[in-house]
Amino acid sequence: KGDGDPVQNCRIRPRNFTQAVFKYRSTPYGKLPANADLERTIRQGVSGTPMPMFGPSLRDSDIKAVVEYIKTFSPDWQKPDNFAAPIPLPETPVWFADSKAHAVQAAEGRKLFMTTCLPCHGENADGNGPLAATLKDNFGQPIHPADLRQPLRSGAGPQDTWRTIAVGINGTPMVGFNGALPPDQIWNLVAYIESIKLPQAKTL
């Protein structure tokens, strides 16, 4: 239930597996994650939280066993309607490695950011948008938008950012934009987010 002994010292609370609400997935918003999603979180950990990476210390078979055990805590895993196929993750565009082309695409992404993301994430992408103070998660608890200048908890690479924008973050007001935005516009947003990363957070 996310109520282990060290929780009182955690600013960010652990997942309650009995609720079966998983933030970081490749599946559409509101759906359960694929096994590969849970395995990725166990392997890579979650940046900025107490959740460490277990990839170096656990065998693949152990990670798969942990995933199956996690799925025993909630009856939601027994309901077919809770499942959906992962949204295909496109390859990173070739222009991403070209600094000039990247800047052009990032400029387009900034325009889109100002009309789509600013209300929550703020003009400076620091999580202080005009709606930030009003946001709550699915359990009625206040939730603050991510500071997009920092490493994202969903993963550090461009494809991780694309996936997060496309599928959203379950249990939060961050819905998925797959279908609402074409893939190339999501890549523009990714380029813009990469361009504003603080020096210690850059992946390029």
Model pLDDT for residues 55-102, shown as the tens digit of each residue = 999 999 999 999 999 999 999 999 999 999 999 999 999 999 999 999
| 31: Cβ contacts below 8 Å, ≥ 6 apart | 25, 82, 83, 84, 170
- The C-alpha angle 57, 147, 67, rounded to 5 degrees, equals 30
Q: Which tokens go with 144? A: 């603050």
CA 188/CA 109 separation, integer angstroms: 4
Which tokens in the block code for residue 17? Answer: 């597996």
What rounded mean pLDDT belongs to the chain?
Answer: 93
**Percent residues over pLDDT 70 in the chain:** 97
More confident residue, 193 or 9: 193
Q: How do residues 134-171 score in pLDDT, each as one tens digit?
A: 999 988 989 999 999 998 988 889 999 999 999 999 99
What pLDDT does 204 receive?
43
Specify the amino acid at residue 45. Answer: G
**47 or 90, which is more confident:** 90
Q: The pTM is what?
A: 0.90
E strand residue ranges, 12-118: none
Confidence of residue 202 (pLDDT cuts 50, 70, 90): low
Q: Is 48 left (phi over 0), alpha (psi -120 to 50) or beta?
A: left
Q: What is the mean pLDDT of residues 20-33?
A: 96
* pLDDT bracket for residue 12 (50, 70, 90): confident
Amino acid at 202: K
Query: Residue 118 and residue 6: Cα distance in Å, rounded?
Result: 35
Q: Could you read off the pLDDT of 79-92 as tens digits, one per residue?
A: 999 999 999 999 99
pLDDT at position 4: 82
Which of the four pLDDT bands, split at 50, 70 and 90, describes residue 5?
Answer: confident
pLDDT confidence band for 112 (50 / 70 / 90):
very high
Q: How confident is the model at residue 39 (pLDDT cuts 50, 70, 90)?
A: very high
